[in-house]
Structure 1
Amino acid sequence: MTESPRTTGVATSAGATAGPDLLAETSAAVRAAGAALRERFGDVVRHRTREELMRALAANDGVALDILRPRLARLRPHARWVEEELEGGALPPGEWWVVDPAEGNVNHLHALPEWAVTATLVRDNQPVLTAVHQPLTGETYTALTGAGAHVDGRPLHVSPTTDLGLSLVATSQARPDEDEDVVRRVGSSITAMLHDALVVRTSVPATLHLLNVAAGRIDAFWQFAGARADLLPGALLVAEAGGRISDTEGRSWTPQSESFLAAAPGVHPPAVAALSR
C-alpha cells in the first residue's frame, strides 16, 4: 500500500471525486446494515454441521447485503462489486466496492460482541475511502485518502510507543482451513512475539484489531494470508492515523502480499525483526 498526498478527495475513474460526501453516504449505508444485524443479535445460533453453520452465516450476510448493495451501487454506479469477501489477491483495474457485510460473522452467531459492517471503495488496488460500523457500540470508523482517519468525527492517531517490549500486539486467523504452511507461520510468529512483545492478543476479526491500531490502543497487528475485505479497511485507517503498513518483512504491502503488518512507526522496525526470524 503506497502513501497518498493529503488532499480532501481522490479523483476516480468515473471522473467524480471520492470525498467527504461519498464517505458520509457510505457511512450511512454501513450503519443501516448494522442496525439490521443488531436486530438479529442475541442468543447463540446453534449448529450441528458445517452446512448448518454456513447457512446461518449466509443468512446474516444476506440481510446486510440487501441493504448495502443497492445503496452503494447508487452511490457509485460504475464501481464493480467483489462477490466473495474471503478472496485475496489483486483486483482488475478500476473501482471496486470491497464489502464485508458481517465482519466477524462467526462471533455474531456465537453471541460475541466483536463484529462489524465494512465498506471500502478501492481504485486500482488502492483503498480510497472506508467506513466500518460497530453496531453494538454505535461507533463508526472512517478514513479518506489524504484526509485522516476518524471515529465519529474525532481524529485517530496511532500509538507513540517505541519499545516493542512494552507493546500490546495482535494477530488473527485469516480464514478457516488454512494450509499447513500458513498454520506453521502463524504459530511461529506468535511464539516470536510472545518473546519480544509485552502481550499478544489472538482473535478474529482482523478489522477490529486494526481499528485499535489506528486508535492507538494496540501497537501492532500482523496476519498471514488474508482477504481483501479483512485488511483493506484497516490498512487505510492505520495509514491515515499515522501508522506504517508493510508485509512482515518490511516490504511494501499490496493485496497480493503473503503477509501483512500494521504498526505504530516506533515499533514497526522491531516488529519486522521479530516476525522475520
Structure 2
Amino acid sequence: MPESIQNPGIAAAAASDADLLAQTTNAVRAAGSALRERFGDVAHHQTREELMRALAANDAVALDILRPRLAPLRPDARWVDEELAGGALPPGEWWVVDPAEGNVNHLHGLPEWAVTATLVRENQPVLTAVHLPLTGETYTALAGAGAHLDGWPLHVSQTADLGLGLVATSQARPDEDEKVVRRIGSSITAMLLDALVVRTSVPATLHLLNVAAGRIDAFWQFAGARADLLPGALLVAEAGGRISDAEGHLWTPRSESFLATAPGVHADAVATLSR
C-alpha cells in the first residue's frame, strides 16, 4: 500500500504540492510568453558590460512575473537571488528560479532557452516546472509522482551500452576556474573515446530534459549552479534515471560534479569520467 494512503498527513502534503506545481507551471508559462516576445534577431554587444545589461534585462522581465506569482504560494519560502550560485542552502523551503535559463542563447537568436522554477525543501527538490517558450513544451516533476511532458509520463532510455550512447555536457558558468575547465576538456576526450556521440552546449537543463525523456543517455557537468541542476535532477530521477556525482557517489548541491544517466549506462559513465 502506498505510504501516502497509509498516512493522511503525507497524502495532504502531496495534494498541496500537486496544486502548487500546477500554479508554478502557470507562472513559468506566463514568464516564458514575455521572453518569447523579446526573442528575435541576434543582439550585438560591443562590450561585456553591454552583454551583462542585456542578460539582466531579460531576467528582470521574467522575474517581474515569477515573483508575484510564486512568492505568495509559500509565504515562508525564501528566494535564491543568484542563479549562478552553488552549494547547499540553509534549512527550510527555497524557490530556486532561473528566469531565463540559456539567456545567452536567447540573445544570440538560438532556440535553446527556457524558464525554470523549482521548490527546494531541506535541500531536496520537491517540484519543478520547466517551460520552453518556442515549442510550448512544459516539463514537470513532483517528488514521488513522476516526471511529465505536457501531462505525458517521461521515462529514461533503456540503453545499456555506453558505446551506443548519446551523451552531453555543459559549461557551468562563464569565467570558470582553469582547473575545472581542464577537467571538462579531459572528460569530453574520455567520452569521445567511449560513447557514440558527445554533445557540448549550454544550458544544462535542456540536456537533462532530454535525459528524462530518453533522448540522451547521460549528462555530466563539473561545478555547476543549483538553478542549472536541481530541476533536471528531479526530472531525471522521477523518470527512472540515476543521479550521482561523477565518481558514482551521492550527489548533493555541495558536490563538485554531477552525473545523470539512464540506469544501464551509469556504471560505464562513472568509469569513463573517473579515468
Q: TM-score range by the shorter chain?
A: over 0.9
Partner of 1:202: 200
Q: Deviations over 1:79-120 (max 9, x none)?
A: 000000000000000000000000000000000000000000
| Aligned partner letter, 1:123 | R
State the TM-score, normalizing by the size of structure 2: 0.96
Per-residue deviation, 1:18? 4.5
Q: In 2 relative to 1, CA 243–208 (structure 1 residues): closer, same or farther, beyond 3 Å?
A: same
Q: In 2 relative to 1, CA 18–181 (structure 1 residues): closer, same or farther, beyond 3 Å?
A: farther
- Cα distance between partner residues in 1 of 2:169 and 2:38: 28
Match of 1:256 among 254, 265, 268: 254
Partner of 1:174: 172
Q: Give the match's secondary structure for 2:263.
A: coil
Please report the RMSD computed on the Cα atoms of aligned residues, expressed in angstroms: 1.8
Partner of 1:87: 85
Partner of 1:265: 263
Per-residue deviation, 1:7? 5.1
Partner of 1:232: 230
- Tell me how many residue pairs correspond in the alignment: 271
Alignment of structure 1 residues 132-171 onto 2, 5 Å? 132-171=130-169
Q: Give the match's secondary structure for 1:130.
A: strand
Partner of 1:58: 56
Partner of 2:211: 213
Query: Is residue 109 from structure 1 mapped to residue 89 from structure 2 by the alignment?
Result: no
Per-residue deviation, 1:76? 1.1
- Cα distance between partner residues in 1 of 2:195 and 2:97: 32
- Cα distance between partner residues in 2 of 1:166 and 1:7: 39
- Cα distance between partner residues in 1 of 2:99 and 2:15: 24
Partner of 1:121: 119
User: Retained in 2: the 8 A contact 1:42–1:111?
Assistant: yes
Which contiguous aligned blocks of 4+ residues in structure 1 show a shift greater than 3 angstroms?
5-9, 15-18
- Cα distance between partner residues in 2 of 1:259 and 1:214: 19
Q: Give the match's secondary structure for 1:209.
A: helix
Per-residue deviation, 1:258? 0.1
Per-residue deviation, 1:142? 0.1
Q: Deviations over 1:118-174 (max 9, x none)?
A: 000000100000000000000000000000000000000000000000000000000
| Aligned partner letter, 1:20 | A
Per-residue deviation, 1:20? 1.5
State the TM-score, normalizing by the size of structure 1: 0.95
Per-residue deviation, 1:223? 0.1
- Cα distance between partner residues in 1 of 2:229 and 2:244: 12
- Cα distance between partner residues in 1 of 2:65 and 2:42: 24
Percent of pairs identical after alignment?
84
- Cα distance between partner residues in 1 of 2:70 and 2:19: 13
- Cα distance between partner residues in 2 of 1:134 and 1:111: 14
Partner of 1:71: 69
**What runs of 5+ residues in structure 1 fail to find an aligned partner?**
none
| Aligned partner letter, 1:150 | H
Q: Deviations over 1:159-217 (max 9, x none)?
A: 00000000000000000000111001000000000000000000000000000000000
| Aligned partner letter, 1:161 | T
User: Retained in 2: the 8 A contact 1:131–1:140?
Assistant: yes
**What runs of 5+ residues in structure 2 fail to find an aligned partner?**
none
Per-residue deviation, 1:19? 2.1
- Cα distance between partner residues in 2 of 1:242 and 1:6: 19
